[in-house]
Structure 1
Amino acid sequence: MPHALADSQAALNALRGPVRLRTLTALRWLAVAGQSVAIVVVHFALGFPTPLGLCLGAIAASAWLNLFVTLRYSPQKFLSDREAAGYIAFDIVQLCTLLFFTGGLQNPFSALIIAPVTIAASVLPLRFTVGLAALAIAGVSILSLHHMPIPWYPGEGLELAPVYKAGYWAALSFSIAFFAAYSHRIAAESAQVRSALAATQLVLAREERLAALGGLAAAAAHELGTPLATIQLTAKEMLRDIQRDGEAYSEDLADDAALLVSQAERCRDILSRLSSHGDAGDAMHDRLRTDDLLREAAGPFLDQPIGPEIRFVAKSRDDSKKPVLRRRPEIVFGLRNFIENAVGYAESIVLVSAEWDARILMIVVQDDGPGFSTDVLSRLGEPYVSARSGINPANPKSGLGLGFFISKTLLEATGARITFENRRWGEPGQAYSGARVCVEWDLNAPNGSLIA
């Protein structure tokens, strides 16, 4: 499990970055422009005396770094996490230096120290984010104690009360920590969802390819049937002519004609098997009865030598006809994933049932295993949330819970509503207790495409 979590964290870090050099240089040029305008306006327009040389020197350091990396590297260069952290650390130090020259925390622009930490939290792993947040808080702490006087009217001084400066230091430090944690959390969840959706798209593409191959096989069987019948008929007529006029033809030619007939019959048998699974031709891939859907979804687990018994129940609530559904790979895959989870944790039995009426189709997967753990039950369906507590020795593939997210996403895309719970089930005198997954469709949905 630790290895799996480490692998998932590495994948999330890969999705979170890397960041381009061009992105950071563009942000730094924006900071240089803003800082330059602020210093010029304060010194010349407002008439507050500032240490102009020192301030412009700090700003020039940022401009020089931008020019250096622009000339030294390609703007399209992807930075490593360590390099990006170094660039952002420079920005924090540069801003703290500029604030030192202009009044420290008394400078209203000191709130900008939050910006580089927030940027770091959105693109860097946690350890670098924590380090940069600590650097920013250390800079704020130094500025609260040591700084040059704030530019003010000549002959007057502005000195805030110590308790006010302490409060502003506390608020700024808390803001740095809060925005860093918030941005990192949002970026991590976004990366998780992107990773899970990418896996969902891959799974759906695979299922669609399999369905397309099945449809192609059925179509080939249907289309090839007519020319193959013509070939077989012609070969039989050739064989009859050869047998009737045996003296005029060689024995080898008769053997070749007989071989042609036998191989044509063999091809016809193969095509017949391809189109014999259900309705003939393409219909077997376009239409699917509800009970056939249950068995197809559970198909990989029916012939296992060991494992729980899988039972099927399909019944109507109001004598409605059995729904005939469109064959959709996402439905088959989603239900199969829920059945696989139930088989992996069941002790002796898994019940796959379907109930319907004129309006609703409901498919339920239940098992007699330990059920969903209470700590993840409310979060099931989120990416990287394990469906059960711990790892089942009988099902070592269980782990990160990505399968539940994929199944839930695919089924909800077909209009399904999905609920997870633990419930007792069974007949009186033969009751079971375990996990229950319910998938429900509205058959009369205006935009529904479930019914064939």
Structure 2
Amino acid sequence: MKRRWLPSQWPADAAGRKNMALLVQLRWIAIAGQVATILFAHFVMDIRLPIAPMLVVAGVAAAVNIASFAVLRRRTDVAHQETFLSLLFDVLTLTALLYLSGGATNPFLSLYLLQVGLGALLLGQWAVWGIVLLSGTCAGLLSFFYRPLDLSEALEGHLFDLHIIGTWICLTMIAVLLVLFMGRVTRNLQAREAYLAELRQRAAEEEHIVRMGLLASGAAHELGTPLSQIAVVLGDWRHMPEITGHPALVEEVGEMQAAVQRCKAIVTGILLSSGEARGEAPTVTGVRDFVEGIARDWRAANPGNPLRCDFGPHDYPRIVADPVIRQAIFNLLDNAREAGATYIDMLVGRDSASLNIAVRDNGGGFSQEMLADFGKPYRSSKGKQGGGLGLFLVVNVVRKLGGSVSASNGAHGGAMVVLRLPFAAVGMEETSNGE
């Protein structure tokens, strides 16, 4: 199932994975910077460093980074504990390099602040204080335990100047990395918050649907009895001599009986949609029969409104004719009629994964506000109380099936709404078969 990749398709823990990926990128930058600094200081500045142990530390960091990248490619989520351990490893790696290069006298001691800043942004309260405690402890120990720098005679009198330059380089690097990294992390977190906000909105909408379903089901039960009584009375009237002797009255009684049958069909549809199918099994049928049946019933209920069906050159699998889908398409056709359309087309197509049904009309179309709020309850261009629930129900019915609904305006007026129904939810076969 695919939805929009806005916040809509955002996995719940995608922000953690993306942030870990950023940490991996940052570690590559750190490794490259460390190796370049070690080689420059040793071979250019003539500061005699223990090259082999320091390159081993950088090599271990690179190996861990390669392993982290391989794990991330197979993962869709990353826990806070894993991010915490990753930052702990970076603190220990930095400590090892500082120990081999002057300890607390090394101006790059300030790089501990980068790890603390990242921890404050990415971790919970207990974890970030763990990073602070470890960083502070390591920095303190480096004041007593370290390998002193082995400077050449030319640099002996310029140690303070070197420290000032190194401190400036370190602070500038920390500032640049924090701005770049924290900006990207903030965007990841904002996207996750937007995703969670959408989930809360969907939960509220689904609760709204449940309440409407309960009300509709209750109303359908309540209407069933009076409709049956009216049908019985009309049947008796039709056989009364006072009625049979007047053709005009016979015709009117027939129209009333047809209207009552239409009302009973609507009530039955509501009960079916609410899961009260009175024991009927779902109907397995062809796409063409299903769509043409909907069109036939809609034309009968709306005489004088032209409706054309186009199935294209495709073969379709057999599907389960869910009455909920039927009602959703009915809602779209009714909306097109109420928008003033003089013709309506139902266009049926397919791709490898879904059955696509489009309703196109030449009515007034959607306003930009309606398109922006498409599928939200009580967003309607009809200006009447309770409007907008038809499209709201359509969107949620299709979404429950794992599909999607999109709306657009035609280049020459009118509107088009497209339902994409996955064959995994409605089809009996996944391969193309003739009907």
Which of the five TM-score ranges fits, normalised by the shorter chain? 0.3 to 0.5
Calculate the TM-score normalised by the size of structure 1: 0.37
Calculate the TM-score normalised by the size of structure 2: 0.39
